[in-house]
Amino acid sequence: MAKYKGFAMLGINKTGWIEKDIPEVGPFDALCKPLAISPCTSDVHTVWEGALGERTDLILGHEAVAEVVEVGSLIKDFKPGDKVIIPAITPDWEAVESQMGYSQHSGGMLQGWKFSNSKDGVFGEYFHVNEADGNLALLPEGVDVCDAVMLSDMVPTGLHGANLAQVEYGETVAVIGIGPVGLMAVAGSVLRGAGRIFAVGSRKKCQEIAKFYGATDIINYRDGDIVEQILEANKGIFVDKVILAGGDVDTFEQAIKIVRRGGIVSNVNYIGTGDYIKIPRLEWGLGMGHISVIGGLMPGGRKNMEYLSHLLMYKRLDVSPMLTHRFNKFEDIETALLLMKDKPGDLIKPVVLL
Amino acid sequence: MAKYKGFAMLGINKTGWIEKDIPEVGPFDALCKPLAISPCTSDVHTVWEGALGERTDLILGHEAVAEVVEVGSLIKDFKPGDKVIIPAITPDWEAVESQMGYSQHSGGMLQGWKFSNSKDGVFGEYFHVNEADGNLALLPEGVDVCDAVMLSDMVPTGLHGANLAQVEYGETVAVIGIGPVGLMAVAGSVLRGAGRIFAVGSRKKCQEIAKFYGATDIINYRDGDIVEQILEANKGIFVDKVILAGGDVDTFEQAIKIVRRGGIVSNVNYIGTGDYIKIPRLEWGLGMGHISVIGGLMPGGRKNMEYLSHLLMYKRLDVSPMLTHRFNKFEDIETALLLMKDKPGDLIKPVVLL
Amino acid sequence: MAKYKGFAMLGINKTGWIEKDIPEVGPFDALCKPLAISPCTSDVHTVWEGALGERTDLILGHEAVAEVVEVGSLIKDFKPGDKVIIPAITPDWEAVESQMGYSQHSGGMLQGWKFSNSKDGVFGEYFHVNEADGNLALLPEGVDVCDAVMLSDMVPTGLHGANLAQVEYGETVAVIGIGPVGLMAVAGSVLRGAGRIFAVGSRKKCQEIAKFYGATDIINYRDGDIVEQILEANKGIFVDKVILAGGDVDTFEQAIKIVRRGGIVSNVNYIGTGDYIKIPRLEWGLGMGHISVIGGLMPGGRKNMEYLSHLLMYKRLDVSPMLTHRFNKFEDIETALLLMKDKPGDLIKPVVLL
Amino acid sequence: MAKYKGFAMLGINKTGWIEKDIPEVGPFDALCKPLAISPCTSDVHTVWEGALGERTDLILGHEAVAEVVEVGSLIKDFKPGDKVIIPAITPDWEAVESQMGYSQHSGGMLQGWKFSNSKDGVFGEYFHVNEADGNLALLPEGVDVCDAVMLSDMVPTGLHGANLAQVEYGETVAVIGIGPVGLMAVAGSVLRGAGRIFAVGSRKKCQEIAKFYGATDIINYRDGDIVEQILEANKGIFVDKVILAGGDVDTFEQAIKIVRRGGIVSNVNYIGTGDYIKIPRLEWGLGMGHISVIGGLMPGGRKNMEYLSHLLMYKRLDVSPMLTHRFNKFEDIETALLLMKDKPGDLIKPVVLL
């Protein structure tokens, strides 16, 4: 059986290049070869925080644009040679959870997330895609390959935050955490018609780009309590929506304290520690304040990739300012991942063009 | 100035009959005289738990059917002699919060609730109604006066729980807490097409009536952990929705542990103690499980009273089994309230016909 | 290749028994053998009105409960011997339309409907099911086989009408047309909390059963204009929602004339003739009255079958009064279909137990 | 009683300056004096098409920014001297229709529209505002007075079209009619995240500005059938949503022919002639294609004015390109209105700064 090379988690805190058998292609599957990839903070969580528990020889990565190499016998819409966008989340579409609108959780909590989780990821010479007709999208002409990699995870996750928050025309939104996902939550809020946008973060580069995406106010938690800063800037008026793209269980408390009755706190951040999400009872209206708290994994699949690619095609969204570090050799995957781990001040996202 | 008599909170832990000036009727107001009233657990919280803080000489009560005695100069739709249902929540309809769909919070968190909170309640010979054209509803012919008192608070609060939970055809619902509000949450779930309904409570009488309203399974927390009991009975499958009509900050943990991804935990219970609502991080999908947590005060106003009264008119809902104790003298208001405080085993709701 | 027998449309206006090759079972498919079937008005439209155009040797039928005979190599949740409910609509779940929430139209307008349309139906000794893991549902213990056949089409179509109409607590609903689908629209409205329900139809038997399902008022179009009759009975007040389960392009005009601003006219009826659905300009508010007009094919698939079966399991819905004519031989399929065509006065639905 | 001067409809096809008594200010009302006004196509319909029927001495106009001159005794949030935005629609907020979310129709079909309809409009030295606390919004600092006049009607109507169409990220939208409302529907679609936008119109100036607001494709009906043009440009793929801001009963047919199953046709255009809105039966899926048709008057009131003003404050929307003709004398109201009637090629909207 033919082998391929990939960059893997060897165990918690250990990474390296390994060889594996090229996966078999079932009737509804596809085999792809990456054209461009990007590492994600989740890869860092997986390896260096053990977010998924112990894993051995798991090829990392779930953000890629690729070329189709082989398709299953029952695939109708794709063929070898097609250039495609691969979503980080590749659901089982026939699952009951998918039929209910929660394809992210097809097969169980978060189980629509397969790459670098329940199967090998995209940091290899090849990777396998399940239900290819439902999970691949053609790369539209005129869309840059590196830009398109942002559609795998950063764009849909950030925009999902704005969708869960149901941002409406003229609303005031606070986005807490302005790494790449938070930046896309800012952009996503603008794309849903938000008015004032508070972007909370401390890194200069991130603040700069948050403004590019439409943040009207930058709040730095190093300058004091963010609840006080936001309420003061907003003249004591609560914000309409809060999107959490950073922080931890305590950040929910801050969110509840700045949001109006009838508002929404939406989370798209991986919460790695703590026993309980903290919802302060009083500010939550003693249980009766109509403040919704919701958090969710991005929806994946073909339809989302197609529709989000329209935002790039028609210049509604420019992701290029996020691509602060560019590489162009397969071997650079390792460098790019370590960069994501070390987060130098000028980094938003690295991308590797292959 | 003419005086009227009412049963009041004199201070925390103290009640008594007092006299007050008959309130003035502004151009959009009405003055009413109760025909039937019912005490609420909230009245008990107010007096004996100090839920609203110290209050002096506040006439209690917010559940009533009444006769209109006087109307303001600009009232169009009501006149003296009309028999009307009064909602516990009487919003300021022109407020921005009302325009946003959250009339319960017009003027601030929970401030749509005025009776026995920010002004004198309905346990008097008279009471004042703000924005009468928007807050009164005619008692329909053929609807029993005592039954109709349940429309002030019990029915809308329970049904609001089912609405917030967005119960759909065939869904499995757990209703935690089966006092009068929880019973109406059971009924409200059936009226939204629920399939299996787990009703959680320990009192015999409540269990009996929960079955009458359509509960398929009774779960008693005295028989063991309710999470285990429900998951076992449901063969390990999560329920679709949970409605909290009892419990405290810890009950949210149990709710999250039994609900599916994409499910909703809806609270209509006053949460009186504890710093934080407890949302368990792991079962909440590390922030990404799409489990919504929402809690809210019932919506009041005329439209809701009119539409809910249709449920009684057309025999969709029979509230009479809830009316376990009936009185018929003005003085019995005191007895009825004390009954609500002492909760004898056979009590659901007392009602006083005047 | 083995053959099987089935009752087919031979051409427009012609039916008969034919033999066909037993279909091949692909990796995601199943082969089933019916346990009970029911003919549908659509079968009548197909054969005697040419609703689908000319078709030759097309086995009819799309309502069945069956036993699984064979499953594809990749099927995970079903095995030979399982008793299953088959929905009339069996979507391609990976299709973009399904990902958008419109699985009925996966592959094109109405193309989720395959049985007796784009492939042979269930009136045979065997039939083929696509994407079996996503389109079959286990028949729950304790649910009667004949009752369960109503879940294939009648129940989901009628309830879809109530869902599209977004019926809410206490609303007044008019259901126009009370054949089996309309009856289920009445039941579905009650199961969403409707108050008053006007059921419009002329057949005695249907009127009787409409009352059983919760209609409060029967309107017979033979007694005069239904717009006038309904508005008079409702004291000039518009109804909140209209569900069309009968009629033609002109019926929409009547519907618009009785519905309130902000109301919904929902159609689940096949409209067979006429160039234009007629929406009267004036009553539609000169284009600005906020009256939604929406029509749609029932959603199929496993999840819906599972959830709707809960309504039977937990006694929320009793479909047995609809089963007015019962047969028990394979050959009776023909008789049952002709009965559906001839519509004797006492017929609602025939069912054949095999 | 003091008099004031205003520009009025004297009768169908007749306008002129008249004098009237200054209206009385009730307890919840305000008296205002315009700072800037703009005529609307509706004023033209009213006078020269008799859209409201015969009217005598009705002061025209419903788009204004003004200064508060006097407030009623019960007004809490405004005082003389305040600069305020006035919405074209000033609902009765306590009405049942408003409580149901349709304040535009408070008191009856379209009855939330009062200025220059059921009472004198804003083209006078003074005008009266009902329920001022619920219907005025403070002009935010830094927002240009003339720009703000566009918030009365053009912005909310166009954006309401996009809201009714529920435009989502990446969707393809066709906006038919690109007068001022259609242009705002284009802008509103972009502000809800649309991808490709087809703007249908023939006037050069309108096409130019449509591009400024984000239209990606201009379709001119003079170049041939718009259905063919749009489907060809979109490679045979249906658009997701259609917003009608022009046309007549026949335009709905074109809209249905280009929209996908599950799509929405939203109308914000006054439909002045024809008996029936034309919904083609076949393309509407024989009644089962899940294509929603909805039309509605803009929502007015304070909350909407406040939130839409945020779009100007935070530079999400620049309305200044619409203000093609500027005047600065009270007498110019007449000139501005006639300009709106004559529609010279370079006109979008005239505004009169007073």
Give contacts of D129 with chain B, Cβ < 8 Å: none
The residues, ordered by sequence, that sit 6+ positions from D301 with a Cβ below 8 Å of its Cβ are B99, D87, D89, D90, D91, D93, D103, D134, D135
What tens digit of pLDDT does each residue of B279-292 get? 999 999 999 999 99
Is D99's CB within 8 Å of B26's CB? no
What percent of chain D lies above the pLDDT cut of 90? 99
pLDDT of residue C296: 98
CB contact under 8 A, A196 and D311: no
**For residue A227, pLDDT beyond 80:** yes
- Amino acid at position B305, single letter: M
The pLDDT tens digits for D29-40 are 999 999 999 999
Predicted confidence at residue B267, as pLDDT, reads: 98
Region D174-184 average pLDDT: 98
Q: By C-alpha distance, which of D81, D84, D100 is closest to D92?
A: D100
Percentage of chain B lying above the pLDDT 90 cut: 99
* pLDDT greater than 90 at residue D1: no
The DSSP bridge partners found for residue C210 are: none
On chain D, the residues whose CB falls within 8 A of the CB of A196 are 310, 313-314
Give every residue of chain C whose pLDDT is below 70, as ranges: none
**Residue D176's closest CA among D213, D224, D210, D204?**
D210
* pLDDT surpassing 90 at residue A285: yes
Report the chain C residue with the minimal C-alpha distance to residue D247: C287
Residue D21 clears pLDDT 90, i.e. is over it = yes
How many secondary structure helices (H) and strands (E) does chain C include? 11, 17
> Which residue from A170, A69, A89 is spatially nearest to A130, judged by alpha carbons?
A89
B97/A253 CB distance under 8 A: no
* Strand-pair category, B83-86 with B137-138: antiparallel
pLDDT at B333 over 90: yes
Measured between beta carbons, which residues in chain A are less than 8 angstroms from residue D170?
306-311
Which pLDDT does position D235 carry in this prediction? Answer: 97
Query: CB–CB of A74 and C133 under 8 A?
Result: no
Which of C51 and D327 is assigned the larger pLDDT? D327
What tens digit of pLDDT does each residue of B180-189 get?
999 999 999 9
| Subunit partners of chain B (3 or more CB pairs within 8 A) | A, C, D
**Which of D105, D270, D284 is the closest to C287 by Cβ?**
D270
Q: What is the pLDDT of residues B304-323, one digit of tens each?
A: 999 999 999 999 999 999 99
Question: CB-based contact (8 Å) between D314 and chain A?
Answer: yes
- What is the rounded CA–CA span in Å between residue A280 and residue A257? 8
pLDDT at residue B271 in the model: 96
Provide the pLDDT for residue D141: 95
Task: Report how far apart, in Å, the C-alpha atoms of D98 and of each of C260, C262, D162 are.
Answer: 13, 10, 21
Mean pLDDT of B114-131: 97
> What is the DSSP annotation of C91-129?
--TTSHHHHTT-GGGTTSTTTTB-BTTTB--SSBS-EEE
Burial bucket for residue C328 (CB in 10 Å: 0-12, 13-18, 19+)? exposed
Provide mean pLDDT across the span B13-38: 97
d(CA D29, CA D69): 11
Distance, in Å, from the CA atom of D178 to the CA atom of D268, rounded to the nearest integer, reads 12
| Contact of C313 with C305, CB cutoff 8 Å | no
In this prediction, residue A119 carries a pLDDT of: 96
Q: Is C93's CB within 8 Å of A99's CB?
A: yes
**Confidence band, pLDDT 50/70/90 cuts, at residue A314:** very high
Q: How confident is the model at residue A179 (pLDDT cuts 50, 70, 90)?
A: very high
Q: Mean of the per-residue pLDDT values for chain D?
A: 97
At B198-230, the pLDDT tens digits run 999 999 999 999 999 999 999 999 999 999 999
Angle between helix A154-164 and helix A302-313 axes, rounded to 10 deg: 100
Beta strands per DSSP E along D185-258: 197-200, 217-219, 239-244
Contact D120, D5 (CB under 8 A): no
State the average pLDDT over residues D203-208: 97
Q: How far apart are CA B138 and CA B309, in angstroms?
A: 9
- The answer to whether B290 touches A160, Cβ cutoff 8 Å, is no
Predicted confidence at residue D42, as pLDDT, reads 92
Residues in chain A, overall count: 354
Q: Between chains, do C193 and B316 touch, taking CB under 8 Å as contact?
A: yes
How many CA atoms are closer than 13 Å to the CA of C283, on its beta-carbon side? 19
Confidence grade of residue B152 (pLDDT, cut at 50, 70, 90): very high
In the block, tokens 């409205």 appear at: C189
* Residue labelled with tokens 């830094």: D142
**According to the model, what pLDDT value does residue C264 have?**
98
The pLDDT of residue C122: 98
B259 contacts B284 by C-beta, under 8 angstroms: no
A245-275, pLDDT tens digit by residue? 999 999 999 999 999 999 999 999 999 999 9
Cα–Cα distance for residue pair A226/B77, rounded to 1 Å: 49
Q: Is A261 on the interface with D (CB under 8 A)?
A: no
Strand ranges in B152-213 using DSSP code E only, listed in sequence order: 173-176, 197-200
> How many angstroms separate the CA atoms of D4 and C338, rounded?
78
Residue D219: what pLDDT? 98
Give the span between the Cα atoms of D274 and D253, in whole angstroms. 13
Residue B19, amino acid = E
Interface of A with C in 96-115 (CB under 8 A): 96, 98-101, 103
List Cβ neighbours of B86 (8 Å cut-off, separation of 6 or more).
B32, B63, B64, B65, B66, B115, B122, B127, B129, B135, B136, B152, B305
Q: How far is A140 from chain D (nearest CA, A)?
A: 13
Per-residue pLDDT for B1 more than 90? no
Any residues with CB less than 8 A from the CB of A17 and at least 6 apart, and which?
Answer: A5, A6, A7, A8, A334
| pLDDT higher than threshold 80 for residue D64 | yes
Average pLDDT over every residue of D260-276: 97
Q: In this complex, do A303 and C93 lie within 8 Å of one another by their Cβ atoms?
A: no
The arithmetic mean of pLDDT across residues D300-307, rounded, is: 98
Asked whether this complex has an ipTM greater than 0.85, the answer is yes
Q: Are B291 and A279 within 8 A, CB to CB? A: no
D91 dihedral zone (left: phi>0; alpha: psi -120 to 50; beta): beta
Kindly report the number of other CB atoms within 10 A of residue B145's CB atom. 17
Task: DSSP letter for B89, please.
Answer: B
Query: How many CB pairs (< 8 A) connect A and D?
Result: 77
Q: Which residues make beta-bridge pairs with C218?
A: C199
Q: Which residues of C touch A95 (CB under 8 A)?
A: 133-134
